Structure formats: C-alpha cells, structure tokens
C-alpha cells in the first residue's frame, strides 16, 4: 500500500513539473494572441506580421487589434505591425540614406505589442528601420511599398497580412 502511495506521489510531482515546463515554454515561445486571432500558423517562419492600412480604424475593424498605439514619424503610410511570437520585441528607428544604404539613426520606440507606424514621406526611400529581436538575434526591416505589385515590401522575417 505504501509503495503505491509513493508511486502516485512521484507520478503527481512529475505531472506538475511537466505541466509547469509546458506552461513556461508555451508562454515564452508560443505565438501571440493576435497571431492566433488572425489565423497565422503557429509554425510560421516569419517573426512579425505587417498590413498596409488605409486608415487607423482598419486595425480594429479588419484585424481585430483594439487600442493599437500609433507611432508617427514623418510620413503618410500606415502600417499595422505585430509580433507573431511571444519572445519577439521590436525597436523602431528613424532612418537616413547614406550613400546607397538606409541606416538607423535614432531609436524612436520599443515594444512587443501590436502597433501602427505612420511613416515614409517617399514611396522610394523608407524613413524608418524596424529591428526585430528574437533570442538575442536582430533582424532589420524597413516598412515600405513593393513598387512591383503595390503591396507591402517583405523579407523572410516579415509576413504580409494585408486584407482587401
């Protein structure tokens, strides 16, 4: 009888530890609630999602993102930007053109929540750089229009979720 009790206690402890590990890993490495609500796959290779907006209200009406903070930096294009994974943070920098490269200038904002970025006075040269940080790695991205098809410019870390 005592052996069965000890086995049950050990099994119970193991189950509690496994549940705690699962909870921690899921909360740290899983996808965000916003990504789930937009049906972004949990195994997405991209780290952030972006949508070109016609107006600020579209963030709530089309994408169900309520109370998204609006960051403005010299421009008229509106981009909804949201982290796909919980362990992703975003830094937004002003950018300047140096020779043929877009270079980070000043840190404007830091967040790990969805936000709207109003930027780009030019269709050709972006005026912001978004640093996408995950697991001590940083990936650069400059929001802008893809002049080939009129959509949003992306790279391997950015998923365009713009809805018609």
Concatenating the DSSP letter of every residue in the chain gives: -HHHHHHHHHHHHHHHHHHHHHHHHHHHHSB-HHHHHTT--TT-S-SEEEEEESSTTHHHHTT--TT-EEEEES-SEEEEEEESBTTEEEEEEEEEEETTEEEEEEEEEEESS-EEEEE-S-SSS--EEEEEEETTEEEEE---B-TTTSSB---TTEEE----
Q: Is 98 in the same domain as 51?
A: yes
Q: Is 101 in the same domain as 144?
A: yes
Whole-number pLDDT of residue 59: 94
Q: What is the pTM of this model?
A: 0.81
pLDDT, averaged in runs of 10, over the chain (164 residues): 77 80 60 91 94 95 92 93 95 89 90 95 87 94 86 93 85
Whole-number pLDDT of residue 92: 96
Counted domains in the chain: 2
Q: Quick one: DSSP state of residue 54?
A: S
Whole-number pLDDT of residue 99: 84
Q: Is 59 in the same domain as 3?
A: no
Whole-number pLDDT of residue 159: 96
Q: Is 44 in the same domain as 16?
A: no
Whole-number pLDDT of residue 102: 84
> What is the extent of the structural domain holding 126?
31-160
Whole-number pLDDT of residue 23: 56
Whole-number pLDDT of residue 103: 83
Whole-number pLDDT of residue 147: 80
Strand duo 115-119 + 69-73: pairing? parallel
Q: Is 35 in the same domain as 88?
A: yes
Q: Is 23 in the same domain as 63?
A: no
Q: Is 24 in the same domain as 46?
A: no
Judge whether 102 and 129 are in contact, CB under 8 Å: yes
Q: Is 16 in the same domain as 78?
A: no
Q: Is 4 in the same domain as 39?
A: no
Q: Is 73 in the same domain as 2?
A: no
Q: Is 10 in the same domain as 58?
A: no
Q: Is 8 in the same domain as 37?
A: no
**In angstroms, how far is CA 3 from the centroid of its own chain?**
51
């Amino acid at each position: 009888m005592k052996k069965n009790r000890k086995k049950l206690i050990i099994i119970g402890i193991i189950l509690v530890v496994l549940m705690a590990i699962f909870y921690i890993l899921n909360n740290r490495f899983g996808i965000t609630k916003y990504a789930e609500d937009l049906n972004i796959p949990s195994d997405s290779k991209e780290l952030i999602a972006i949508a070109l907006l016609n107006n600020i209200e579209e963030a709530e009406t089309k994408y169900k993102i309520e109370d998204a903070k609006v960051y403005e930096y010299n421009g008229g294009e509106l981009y909804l930007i949201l982290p796909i994974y919980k362990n992703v943070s975003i830094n937004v920098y002003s950018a300047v053109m140096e020779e043929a490269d877009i270079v980070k200038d000043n840190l404007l904002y830091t967040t790990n929540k969805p936000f709207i970025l109003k930027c780009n006075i030019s269709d050709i040269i972006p005026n912001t750089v978004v640093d996408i940080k995950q697991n001590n790695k940083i990936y650069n991205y400059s929001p802008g229009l893809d002049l080939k098809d009129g959509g949003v410019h992306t790279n391997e870390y950015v998923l365009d979720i713009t809805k018609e």
